[in-house]
Amino acid sequence: MTKRPTSFTLGGRTYSPAASLLLATPFILVMILAFLLPLFTLLHESLSVPKFNLDNYARVFDQEVYLRVMLRTLRISALVTIAALLLGYPLAWLIARSRGLLLGLLLIAVLLPLWTSVLVRTYAWLVLLQRNGVVNQILTALGLVDAPVQFLYTEGAVVLAMSHVLLPFMVLPLYAALRGIPDDYMRAAQVLGAGGFAAFRHVVLPLTLPGVASGCLMVFLLALGFFVTPALVGGPQQMMLATLVQQQVTELLDWPFSGAIIGVLLAFVLCLVLIFNRLIRLDRFVGQV
């Protein structure tokens, strides 16, 4: 049975499907003109230059240098996702259990980086991690190292800086999931004899898995296309796909091949989203938050 379109309620007012579509028209036009049209044009060039073929896509997988960049991008994105989860879950737990002034301060600490340019935050890491930066000065003053350590232009620096930039996108879904769990659940588990960790593992963690999955998916997908932070903090050995696309477009003027790289990345992202949605039903979780 075909599901009829339902009305949309906002601020106590109910809008018909036609009115809802009219309200969304500016956003739809912007998405078509600024995103979909350029994307499809680039994908069309990757397939039809000089005639319809898959040579550009075969080139992505045939040459070892491009495969290394793809695998490096996947590895760094996975490490960033794991680091953001390990850092973000305790922070989200603390925010969900806080009240009053402390809650406001913690939320500001999470949201404030989103209002700051990614370029500014990346340059802050450059200041911290350079050879004469704050971190090396502290290590030298404490006598832990005899000479400055090379932190910049390493994969570790890229993972660290990207984890900091993308941390809010992990914390916010986790916070939404944790806030939806009544405090009575933990107390009931403890009354029944479960310890603190057992109650968390059997009660809280399963209920927050949709938030974990949505946060991991969001961070991983954003990390796949990150450009500024890897380009500034990393070196040539840490090149990622976004930097490779920029190099192909601005230096080599190879638009068809850059379109093929984007096409491969787009296909991977779509498959990943479909798998996640089928396994954990992200749409159902979003509707409940």
pLDDT of amino acid 40? 87
Contact predicate 166/222, CB 8 Å: yes
* Mode of pairing for the β-strands spanning 8-10 and 13-15: antiparallel
Residue 285, pLDDT score: 46
**pLDDT tens-digit readout, 21-73:** 787 888 889 888 888 888 888 888 888 766 777 888 888 888 888 889 989 99
pLDDT value at residue 92 = 92
What per-residue confidence (pLDDT) applies to 79?
95
Ranges of residues in the chain whose predicted pLDDT is under 50: 1-2, 285-289
pLDDT of residue 1: 45
User: In the prediction, which pLDDT does 163 show?
Assistant: 93
Amino acid identity at 232? L
SS3 of residue 117 by DSSP: coil
The residue ranges of every structural domain in the chain are 68-288
CATH architecture of 68-288: Orthogonal Bundle (1.10)
- Residue 162: predicted pLDDT: 93
- Within 10 Å of residue 95's Cβ, how many Cβ atoms? 21
Task: Kindly report, residue by residue over 63-106, the tens digit of the pLDDT.
Answer: 888 889 989 999 999 999 999 999 999 999 999 888 888 888 98
Q: Residues 259, 264, 265, 271: what is their CA dihedral angle, to the nearest 10 degrees?
A: 140
- Considering only CA atoms, which of 214, 205, 189 is closest in space to residue 272? 214
Q: At what angle do helices 255-280 and 55-62 cross, to 10 degrees?
A: 80
Tokens of residue 209, six digits: 């898995």
The pLDDT of residue 287: 43
Distance of CA 31 to the CA centre of its chain: 20
CA distances from 71 to 54, 132, 181 (A): 21, 32, 38
Contacting residues for 283 by C-beta, under 8 A, at least 6 apart: 277
User: For residue 181, how far is the Cα from the chain centroid?
Assistant: 24
Bond prior to 50 in cis (omega within 30° of 0): yes
Q: Which CA distances in Å does 280 have to 54, 206, 285, 286?
A: 34, 12, 8, 11
The confidence score (pLDDT) of residue 266 equals: 87
Nearest-CA neighbor of 70 among 233, 213, 249, 263? 263
Distance CA 124, CA 118 (A): 10
Write down the pLDDT at residue 49.
67
